Every structure is written in C-alpha cells, then in structure tokens.
Structure 1
Amino acid sequence: MSVTRFHVLSPLSPDAVMAVLTDFSPRRTETWPGIDTDHFEVHGRGEGWAEVTEGNAAAWERGRYEWDIESRTATLTTHESKLFGAGGGWDFRVSDAPEGARIDVALTREPRAFGAKILAGLLPIIGAPGLKRSFAAVFSA
C-alpha cells in the first residue's frame, strides 16, 4: 500500500470547496483538467454519495464518493482502476484557513500487479508535487 499526502490552500470558502468536490454535473470535466468527457460517467447519485467513473485515457477509475457537508469530508473508494485495480482511494478533509480553505488530501493505492506496485511506490515521491499543482489550479478561483 502507498499513501500520498499533501495539502492545498484555496481562496474559496470551505463550503465552496465542498461544492467543487461534490459537483458531478457535466461541469466536472471543465473544472478538473484530468477528467475528459470520454472517461466521465455518473452511474448513480444520492444524498451524500455518487458512483462515478472519471479520468482520461491514461488513467481512469470507477469508485464511490461519499461526503458529509457538515464535517467537510469526502472520500472516494476505488472499485476499479486502469492503473491500480480495486482498493484504496482518495480522502479529502476541508478546514478553515485565514484566506479561505485548507484541503488535506490523502491518496491511497493498493496495487496487486508488479508494475502498479512500483508506480504506487513512486507516487509519494514524484507524484505529490504534480497532484498538488493540479489541485491548486482547481481550487484557485
């Protein structure tokens, strides 16, 4: 198992950050640069959850998002992934910051194949800076 952790500061309010995290409308592909329309599908949605496939030709995953607006938390449990298979996911914790919000992110990968294990092992070292830049862009305005 590999865990990649980072945080992003945003000028958005915590409520606005949660709105971005939980928006599964067609706007999602415009907001998140790593998600293209060919690899975005909402399979089901309800109060506090959504089952989606999202990503791009290089890397996509299908999973279940669950969130709690009051506690400002959201998680994605990965059911299927092109690169890593099932297991792991994303964990988001949003808190107040002096100029807006702080988003703490943890990405957990539980790969089974040899190549995926190597990639997952490198994620905390070489992936965190790129992921942080990508998230900072999404939550910048």
Structure 2
Amino acid sequence: MPSLHFHVNSSMSPDEVMGVLTNFGPSRVEEWPSIDAEHFRVHERGDTWAEVTEGNDKSWERARYEWDPATNRVTVTTRDSVPFGSGGWQFQMTPMDNGTRVDVRLERHPSSFKSKMMSSIIPFAGPVFRKSFKEPLHTT
C-alpha cells in the first residue's frame, strides 16, 4: 500500500483552508489547476460531505469528501482513480501564528497491474503534490 505524508504551511486560516478544500462550486476548477471542467462533477452533497468526480485527461478520481470544522480535518475516501486505484487523502489543519500547517496523508490501494505500477511512485512524489497545493492553499 503506497503512502505519502508531508505538510505545507499556508498563509490562510484553518477555516479558509477548509473552505478551499471543500468548495465544490464552479470556481473549484479555477482554484485547482489539476481539475478541469470536463472532469468535474458533483454527484451528491450534504452539509459536511460531498461525493465528486474530479481530475483531468491524465488522472481523475471519484471520491467522498467528509469534513469536520470542529477538528479541522478533511477526509477524502477515493472510491476509484485512474491511474492510481482506490485509497484516500487526509488533511489536518493546525493553526499557527502566521497561518496554518496542513498535514497531508495520501494512501492508495491499487488492485490492477497498471495501478500498482503507477502507485509505486507515490512515496517519492512529495514535491509534486506540494507544488499542486501552492496556489489554492497559498502555501509558502
């Protein structure tokens, strides 16, 4: 089971970070460069959860987002993903004097040969993932 854990520091408050992570409106495709309009669909949504498909031509996933403002945590359960398989993300926000520390955990449970091969790069992909959060989360 490939996994990755890293953190980024954001100049935003924990509430603002959670707002960006859980914004499933039309502006999501503008905030997240890795999501295009053709691969973004909100299937269902509740007060503290959403079921969405998002990504681009090269990589997409269908996932259930759940968030808890009281604990500053967003959990994403990936039901299906191309090319990586199922798994999930966890975002834990911790307030700091000048913003928020965001601890990010990613796990994948690949089942096909292709997803096993692609997922093998995840433990080494920290810099790529950190860069993907730079603009949306105003990281330093």
Task: Among all aligned residue pairs of Structure 1 and Structure 2, give the percentage whose two residues are the same amino acid.
Answer: 47
TM-score (normalizing by structure 1): 0.94
**Gaps in structure 1 of 5+ consecutive residues:** none
- For 1:17 and 1:62, how far apart are their aligned partners in 2? 21
TM-score (normalizing by structure 2): 0.95
- For 2:138 and 2:17, how far apart are their aligned partners in 1? 10
Q: CA RMSD in A?
A: 1.2
Cα deviations by residue, 1:21-45 (Å, 9 ceiling, x for unpaired): 1110001000011000000000000
Q: How many residues align?
A: 139
Aligned-partner SS, 2:66? strand
- For 2:66 and 2:136, how far apart are their aligned partners in 1? 20
Q: Work out whether residues 9 and 136 of structure 1, in 8 Å CA contact, stay in contact via their aligned partners in 2.
A: no
Question: Partner residue of 1:48?
Answer: 48
**Gaps in structure 2 of 5+ consecutive residues:** none
Question: Partner residue of 1:134?
Answer: 132
- For 1:54 and 1:42, how far apart are their aligned partners in 2? 9
Q: Which consecutive aligned stretches of 4+ in structure 1 deviate over 4 angstroms post-superposition?
A: none
Q: Work out whether residues 36 and 55 of structure 1, in 8 Å CA contact, stay in contact via their aligned partners in 2.
A: yes
Question: Partner residue of 2:71?
Answer: 71
Give 1:81 deviation, angstroms. 1.2
